[in-house]
Amino acid sequence: MPDTTKRTDFILHELMTHGRVLAEDLSQRLQVNSSTIRRDLEKLERQQLLRRVHGGAVPLDPLSYSTYADELTFQKNMGKLVDEKNRIALAALQYIQPGDTLALSPGTTTTHLARHIRRAQIANLTVVTNAVNIAMELAQVPGLSLTLTGGFLLSDFFALVGPMAEQSLSQMYVTRAFLGITGLSPTYGLTGPNQLEALTHRMTIERSQQIIVLADHTKIGKVALHSIAPASTIHTLITDTEAPTSILTELGNIGIEIITA
């Protein structure tokens, strides 16, 4: 029988993948009795990680931003490479210590990380983000201090960008930044499809002591339209085991710590 942590990880993964879990199905798949599943769901509801309904549970998210995100690029991307992004986010969580000051960029993998932060409830965290959905993920975490930048909203990814976002970021320093990006190449560095978002990423990098990039294998070697920063600005890359070895070797040779999850 899986222990409590493994069960709750499984439940949350199924919830993010399918949008609903059934208690009877969980009981059979996890080989535990229905009362154990009920206690697991009650605990997760108290942690504001899901909402119990008759026969099972649904994400808490439909009560907030997901009600109007179903047709957006963000929601479509959240359903892709869920296992890989979840593993990357869990690996990233290990870099966060009580008392840290963090920046989280917009993106689906950083959203997974925000959900793990919400669940872990690490003491005395300060989080700065220019992603509206990430702010909503973290809004009620006990003991967490949250700053959401201003800016022009790119609705596809809930990203706040432009001069107001850059001005907000320019007034702060963070211990480490977790960045989700579209492309990472040893030659062309970090790249993205939107010029305004690229500039906001650049400001986040400038105001961070440590840069940790979260990128699944589809981003490694890819080059998008707008330059963000050279690859050498990255301290750590967390990716998945399908990332091309030759490119990871090149990135490692310029001093980047490579973590595969």
Residue closest to 259 by CA, chosen among 109, 87, 50 = 87
pLDDT score recorded for residue 156: 80
Residues 183 and 96 grouped into a single domain: yes
pLDDT, residue 73, reads: 60
What pLDDT, on the 0 to 100 scale, is given for residue 6?
81
Q: What is the pLDDT of residue 58?
A: 84
* SS3 assignment, position 30: helix
Nearest to 215 by CA among 197, 232, 230, 234: 234
144 and 28 in a common domain: no
CA distance to 151, 194, 216, 228, per residue, from 189 (Å): 25, 15, 15, 7
Sign of the dihedral through C-alpha 25, 27, 28, 29: positive
Q: The domain that contains 45 carries what CATH number?
A: 1.10.10.10
pTM to 2 decimal places: 0.76
Range(s) of the domain holding residue 176: 68-260
Position 4 scores a pLDDT of 79
Distance CA 196, CA 208 (A): 19
State which of 17, 45, 63 marks the end of a domain: 63
Q: 209 and 108 in one domain?
A: yes
Q: Tell me, yes or no, whether 83 and 116 share the same domain.
A: yes
- Note the pLDDT of residue 78: 62
91 and 29 co-located in one domain: no
Q: At what angle do helices 23-30 and 34-46 cross, to 10 degrees?
A: 120
pLDDT tens series, the chain, 261 aa = 467 778 888 888 788 767 789 999 999 999 999 999 999 999 888 877 888 988 899 876 543 444 344 444 655 666 678 889 999 999 999 999 999 999 999 999 999 999 999 988 899 999 999 999 999 999 989 899 999 999 999 888 899 999 999 999 999 999 999 999 999 999 999 999 999 999 999 999 999 999 999 999 999 999 999 999 999 999 999 999 999 999 999 999 999 999 999
**CA dihedral angle for residue 120, residue 126, residue 131, residue 136, rounded to 10 degrees:** 60
Residue 83: give its domain's CATH number: 3.40.50.1360
Q: What is the pLDDT of residue 253?
A: 97
For residues 137 and 112, state if they share a domain.
yes
User: What is d(CA 142, CA 162) in angstroms, rounded to the nearest whole number?
Assistant: 30
At which of 19, 47, 63 does a domain end? 63
- Domain check: are 17 and 100 in the same one? no
Residue 102 sits in the same domain as residue 36: no
Q: Both 57 and 114 in a single domain?
A: no
Number of domains in the chain: 2
**Are 124 and 79 in a shared domain?**
yes
**Residue that has been written with the tokens 């593993």 in this structure:** 87
Task: Supply the pLDDT for residue 222.
Answer: 96
Q: What are phi and psi of 232, to 5 degrees?
A: -65, -10
Looking at the fold, whether 29 and 83 belong to one and the same domain comes out as no
Residue 198: what pLDDT? 95
Which amino acid is residue 18, in one-letter code?
A: H
177 touches 134 (CB < 8 A): no
For 51, list phi and psi in degrees, rounded to 5. Answer: -130, 125
237, β-bridge pairs: 213, 258
Does residue 81 sit in the same domain as residue 126?
yes
